[in-house]
Amino acid sequence: MLKKERVDYVLNRLEELYPETPVPLDHFDAYSLLVAVLLSAQCTDERVNQITPALWALADNPYDMAKVPVEKIREVIRPCGLSPQKSKAIQKLSEILVNEYHGQVPENMAALETLPGVGHKTASVVMAQAFGHPAFPVDTHIHRLAQRWGLTSGKNVVQTEKDLKRLFPKEKWNKLHLQIIFYGREYCSARGCDGTVCEICTTCYPARKHPKKINKA
């Protein structure tokens, strides 16, 4: 398959498999999504969804969260891992939202990236899923699949994001990044497929005999 053929096949097959793409993290507004995405770093979405109801019971908006002691936030989010850093980030970014943005999550990538605990990927998720702006959040899982499917040779998620944005139509980005995540979890996980097992890998590279070596993100 030529790269253009692989791009078209991936788009069409993922649309067949995942016509609906519900956001995996439970949330009720931009703020709750921002905090949930922050919590999901090195933690499963399922675990985050188990934890956030107790966190929202403490405070479900930046005005209230800014007043909650860091230790209290940390107690609740401990099962998500990295709780010392995440609890400080949640309280501090809540303070900043209150003091600088009238309690609103800014609808701006650069502004989001200045918030504590919010990197480019988290900001991209919020821009895409809370505000509907075209973005292509790339984590290590999407990075891995994009390499297996011959869509990038990027050595990091930054290069992979650029390559995927160049290959796929902008209006597909928000849905596609979720479709790739869903497919990776179900069929092309780190342990379940090495580039020679799942349907998309074997269709894109039917002659591949050896595991695909992945450039680490």
So which residues are the catalytic ones?
Answer: 121, 139
Give the closest residue to 182 by CA, choosing from 24, 12, 43: 24
Amino acid found at 87 = S
- How many whole angstroms separate alpha carbon 122 and alpha carbon 127? 9
Write down the residue that tokens 């788009």 correspond to: 11
- How many whole angstroms separate alpha carbon 153 and alpha carbon 117? 28
Burial of 99 (0-12, 13-18, 19+ CB in 10 A): exposed
- How many whole angstroms separate alpha carbon 47 and alpha carbon 54? 12
* Count of all residues that appear for the chain in the document: 217
- How many whole angstroms separate alpha carbon 103 and alpha carbon 192? 43
Give the Cα-Cα-Cα angle 182, 18, 209 (nearest 5 degrees).
Answer: 60
In the chain, count H helices and then E strands: 12, 0
